[in-house]
C-alpha cells in the first residue's frame, strides 16, 4: 500500500480514470447489445419463412439425393468456431474455447474454420489446422459474411474434405448469461414438424429443395453470428459493469484511508503544538 498522502491521492486519481473508461465501455456495450438484438429480431421473419418453406418441401421431395442432407461415416470433422476479434469481454472467448476443447478432447481428425481473431489465435497457438479464417466481422454482422462461411463449409463438405460440420458459438441467454454450445450444421437436419400446406413447386420439389437448402444453412449461420455478437456485447457489458463497481469500491477504501491518515497527521500536529505550548509555561 502507498503510505504518503500524496501517493494515495495519485492512486485515487488513477483508479478514477480507469473507472471512467470502464464506465464508458459499459455504456457503449449496452448500446451495441441493443443494436445486435434488434438485428437478430429483424432477421427472424426471413429465417422463419425459409424454415417453413423447407419444412414443406422436405416432406414432399425425396431428400435422399441431396448431398447436404445425407449423413456418412465421419472421419474428419470441421468446426466453425465463432469468437470475438477483441478481448475485454470477460470470460466470453475463454468459455467458448473451453467448450471447444472439451469437444475435441476425444481426438479424431479435425479442421477449423475460425470466425474471429481470438479463436484463430488460440487454435494456431495449439497447432490446430485452421483451414479458413474470417476476421473483421465487425460489430454488426452482415448476411453476406454468413453466406461466405456457408459457401466454404458447403464446399468442404461436398468435396469430402470434412464429413461433418459443427458450429461452436455462444448462445445468447441474457445480457448476463451466455451459453457456449455446439451444433451439427452439416449434414443438415431439415426442420421437423408437419408441413402446413400442400404447395406446387416450380419446376419441381427436388429442384426447389436443392435451391432452398443452402439458403437455409446461411440463414442459420447468420442467426448464429448475430446471436454470438449479442452474447459478446452482453459479456462485455457485464464485465465492464463489474470492473466499474470494483473501482468504486477501491476508491471508497482509498478515500477512507486518505482521510484517516490526514486526520492522524492533523492530530499529530495539534499534539505537537500543545506539547510545545505546555513546555513554554
Partner 1 sequence: MATTFALSVVTPEREALRTDAEMIIVRGADGDLGVLARHIPLVTAIQPSVLVIKTADGEQQLAVTGGFLEVRGDVVTVLARTAERPDEIDRRRAEEAKQRAEERLQERLADLEEGRAKLALQRASVRLQLVEDGSRTAV
Closer CB to partner 1, 27 or 59, in the complex: 59
| Rounded Cα distance, 197 and 56, in Å | 7
Closer CB to partner 1, 39 or 93, in the complex: 39
The least CB distance from residue 182 to partner 1, in Å, is 24
Closer CB to partner 1, 121 or 206, in the complex: 206
The least CB distance from residue 168 to partner 1, in Å, is 22
CA dihedral for 112, 184, 229, 178, sign (positive or negative): negative
- Cell for 240? 465492464
Q: Which residues bind to partner 1, rule: CB under 8 A?
A: 39, 42-43, 45-47, 49-50, 52-53, 56-57, 142-143, 146, 196-203, 207-208, 211-212, 215, 218-219, 222
The least CB distance from residue 8 to partner 1, in Å, is 53
Closer CB to partner 1, 121 or 152, in the complex: 152
The least CB distance from residue 47 to partner 1, in Å, is 8
Name the 3-class secondary structure at 262. Answer: helix
The least CB distance from residue 172 to partner 1, in Å, is 18
The least CB distance from residue 137 to partner 1, in Å, is 14
- Cell for 20? 471512467
Closer CB to partner 1, 151 or 249, in the complex: 151
Closest C-alpha among 268, 263, 248, 267 to residue 5: 263
Closer CB to partner 1, 6 or 197, in the complex: 197
| Rounded Cα distance, 195 and 60, in Å | 9
| Rounded Cα distance, 273 and 210, in Å | 95
Cis previous bond, 2, omega within 30 = no
152 burial type by CB count under 10 A (0-12 exposed, 13-18 middle, 19+ buried) = middle
Instruction: Name the strand (E) or helix (H) holding 74.
Output: none
Amino acid at each position: 500500500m502507498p503510505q504518503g498522502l500524496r501517493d494515495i491521492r495519485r492512486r485515487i486519481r488513477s483508479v478514477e480514470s480507469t473507472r471512467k473508461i470502464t464506465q464508458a465501455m459499459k455504456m457503449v456495450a449496452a448500446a451495441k447489445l441493443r443494436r445486435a438484438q434488434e438485428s437478430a429480431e429483424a432477421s427472424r421473419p426471413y429465417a422463419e419463412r425459409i424454415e417453413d418453406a423447407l419444412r414443406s418441401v422436405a416432406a414432399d421431395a425425396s431428400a435422399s439425393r441431396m448431398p447436404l442432407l445425407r449423413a456418412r461415416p465421419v472421419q474428419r470433422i470441421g468446426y466453425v468456431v465463432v469468437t470475438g476479434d477483441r478481448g475485454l469481454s470477460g470470460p466470453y472467448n475463454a468459455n467458448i474455447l473451453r467448450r471447444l476443447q472439451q469437444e475435441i478432447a476425444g481426438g479424431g481428425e479435425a479442421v477449423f474454420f475460425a470466425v474471429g481473431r481470438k479463436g484463430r489465435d488460440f487454435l494456431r497457438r495449439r497447432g490446430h489446422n485452421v483451414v479458413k479464417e474470417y476476421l473483421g466481422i465487425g460489430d454488426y454482422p452482415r448476411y453476406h459474411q454468413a453466406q461466405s462461411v456457408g459457401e466454404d463449409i458447403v464446399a468442404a463438405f461436398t468435396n469430402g474434405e470434412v464429413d461433418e460440420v459443427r458450429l461452436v458459438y455462444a448462445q445468447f441467454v441474457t445480457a448476463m448469461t451466455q451459453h457456449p454450445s455446439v451444433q451439427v450444421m452439416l449434414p443438415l437436419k431439415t426442420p421437423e414438424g408437419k408441413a402446413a400446406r400442400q404447395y406446387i413447386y416450380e419446376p419441381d420439389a427436388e429442384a426447389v429443395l436443392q435451391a432452398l437448402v443452402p439458403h437455409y444453412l446461411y440463414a442459420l449461420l447468420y442467426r448464429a453470428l448475430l446471436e454470438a455478437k449479442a452474447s459478446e456485447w452482453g459479456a462485455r457489458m457485464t464485465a465492464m459493469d463489474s470492473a466499474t463497481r470494483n473501482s468504486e469500491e477501491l476508491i471508497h477504501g482509498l478515500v477512507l484511508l486518505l482521510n484517516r491518515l490526514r486526520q492522524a497527521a492533523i492530530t499529530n500536529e495539534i499534539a505537537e503544538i500543545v506539547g510545545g505550548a505546555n513546555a513554554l509555561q
